[in-house]
Structure 1
Amino acid sequence: MGRKIKLIWDFRGPSAEKTAEHHVIHLKEYIAIEKTNLNITGHQDFGPMHSIAYMVVDESEMIPVRDALKPHRGEVYTEPADQ
């Protein structure tokens, strides 16, 4: 299996946390419709004014997903140590 890529959407401002949480709903809808290989999504807060939503895809799926969903950035995904 190839690398996994974490696609990231940044949200800033006082409503960043709620916006990131809501964005994850849409990412899960996309996964269900497109039947992507992975089903890893989530959101993370970095403070009261910055949150992210993310989706992890196989590297082979990255370009079509990127073009369809237009994330702000991406990075190589590494599994959390506790899994």
Structure 2
Amino acid sequence: MYQVVNNMNTRLCELVPISRPLHTHYTRKKHLITGKVRKLKSTSLSIVSRGPQIWNKLEGFIKMSQYFLAFKKNLKQKLLSTYI
């Protein structure tokens, strides 16, 4: 999702279309992205629909990482700290 949001991989951007709010005024959920809504259980668990949901749950400092390697490092540290 980091690569999709930051337009780093065009192939992934085609596979996982995301949409951002169209309005420019401030709202509480302006920073959230949405993916395609799927009706079937098997397709609702795919990266196309679950990716944006998981991305929206990440903390801001992880999403705002300047580099992909920094993003991966921050995400790993956050996930490992939840198990300790």
TM-score, length-scaled by structure 1? 0.27
Say which structure is richer in strand: 1
TM-score, length-scaled by structure 2? 0.27
Say which structure is richer in helix: 2
| Greater RCO (CA < 8 Å, at least 6 residues apart) | 1
Larger radius of gyration: 2
